[in-house]
Structure 1
Amino acid sequence: MGRALLLLPLLPLLAACQVLEGTGYRVAEAQLLFPEATERWTYFYGEPREVRLGGRSLRLESATGESLWAVPGALWVDGNPLLREVGPALRLQVEAVRGISGSLLEVRTQTPLRSSWLYDGAGWVRLTGNLRQGERRALVQPIGYQTPELQAFTGSEARVLLREVLARRAGRQVVVFELAEPLLRPLSLDPAPDFYRAGALLVQYGLRLEFVAPPPPLFRILDRGTNAAYPETEARAYLAGNPTRFAEVWNLVVGNRLPRPPAPPVDFRTRSVAAFFWGLKPTGGYGIEVVGVTYAGDTARVVLNLTSPRPGAIVTQALTSPYVLLELERVRRVVFTDPGGRILGEARE
């Protein structure tokens, strides 16, 4: 019994040793797809050491100087701030074009994207978030500059990479596409790093002019009124991403009408339908106004102004059920709020 008790304090120490085991270094790789070449920029982090890459030895050491390519905290490689390799250009069907009107842009891709960013000579604007393979996104050029957020890279790494991209632009506008997945295989390092992080940026210099159809509106009111067939007193939100689900929501909208009108056409490849039912009200005089819609990732935020009858107002003395039905961009989540930000309801696809 005494020996067992003596061993117990050692168990946490043994577990900690197992957690701390590793090769002592980490890798961050940027694959830069320039029009003329593909470059692999590899940064190493951790303790100074030597690693092997193929038949050569790489000496990883603390920073030994200053360089525009250096990232704070990264080890230098054989006296250089990074390991840089250059290969032939890779041709991907990803492009941004400018509309003849000037303010319209369209992003087209045959490979999944995490985001796309435009540098117009004064600053960066975000063009798109995630895009699927084969998707096109028409848009009006955004207003308001911001620092690009690249998911695969830290802020320090992104600043160095984007500075290099701009250094080669020669006065041209630039579009940077962050691909959803890297294209090159990881380096065969020995010993293998504790962690290997990689991302790919495709760089486009200049935008050619082409006819671009105006983008669809941010939202469209499909129907609005006070006589829904929604029977509950509590408010509820719905989100439909396919015809079957839309038919269910449409029945709640028109269930009290005779004859029932057909549902409006919706292209669910690029659009979603959201509905907000305020619930049963004891009289008339209640209404819903759409203040605006904003998008962030796969979420739409719909701001509503809910109006109630003033005291003493002459209103219909019958139950009403106010609602609004909206066509939105393709999203997976919708949040309805009042102008003050209070959540009125939310739904997911």
Structure 2
Amino acid sequence: MNKTLTAALLGAGLLAGCSVNGPGTLKVHEVLLYGGTQERIVWVYGTLGSGGQTGVKLGGQAVDLRAQVQDPLAVAGTLSVNGKATYRVPTTVVSPKLVLTRDTRGLFDISFSEAGGIIYYTDGRTWTRLNSTSGRGVTGTPVNGLRGAGNLTEAEATALGSALLNQGTLAVAVLNEATVPDAALAVEPTAGEYRRTALYVLPGVRTVTASAGNFTPTPAPTPGGRLNLTVLASGTNASATTSAVQVATTQAGVSALYNVAYGRQTGVPNVPNLAGGETVVGVFLGQRSTGGYSVRVTGASAQNGVLTLTVALSAPGPGTITTQAITSPWTIVRVPGSYREVRVVDIQGQPFEQGAGGGSVR
């Protein structure tokens, strides 16, 4: 894999003779995103003159460089580009390169079409660096963002990792930047340092049940009405087009939940058997136009035959990097006991709004 491309730093006299006057100590670092996110993100480093602004050409386009702005992708030493923290343009579409699933034990099954590289996984909250790029039952090591990915600096890796969080489950694989379809970005005047990193983003990584056997017996409820809950599976590609809560108390009902959850994917994983005296609930967020949305159950309690689930809902913020595909986030959990009513509320205690299609699949 190519390392940092370097060139001799240009002196002030040479810069003055160029058609575009760049900042002092000009450096350009870019990351090329493929797969679920098709975008070239470019950080421009340098120092401004006394006028507080300057210009360069990136890919033949003249851009205005000024002091950096507040933005999740802004890193120390960089300049704003046309008023944005980074310069961003689309990348070329590539063929799928990664297949990955995670099971409820936290192990991964992986098929990756490129030798070498590194694969990272996020559940939407934290990052894990996988200990292999192929095989079954692969383990991982917790990491801070995308540190160690390609030629990214630590600050860039942390910023990019943070920008990709809160989009549900996804994986990021490091590609050989010398073989991707997009050529190096033309920079005028020539940058003193130029770095390239290529990444493949796989959104909607499925979490599947570790075994097709019976569920592990559920612990008894904890004091105070709280219940122990188990997340059976989650993802971002359900067939549900509107928000819904569906409850299952029979094996047929559990199968129906899985069919909704995996309805837009090839094949439904083995559906675990429902033990007696348990309830399974699917929470579906409904169709969204991009990635960046997620739903997860954070708590469960019961009182007078009413089960209450608390969910945390996430949506992409301004300027967030999102996967450009229709998504439908969901999660399926199980709790001990049977209930006459199931309620779902957000972390503020407000009812989870449901569209058509909610109810029971008992």
Give the structure with higher Rg (CA): 1
The TM-score with structure 2 as length reference comes to 0.45
> How high is the TM-score relative to the length of structure 1?
0.46
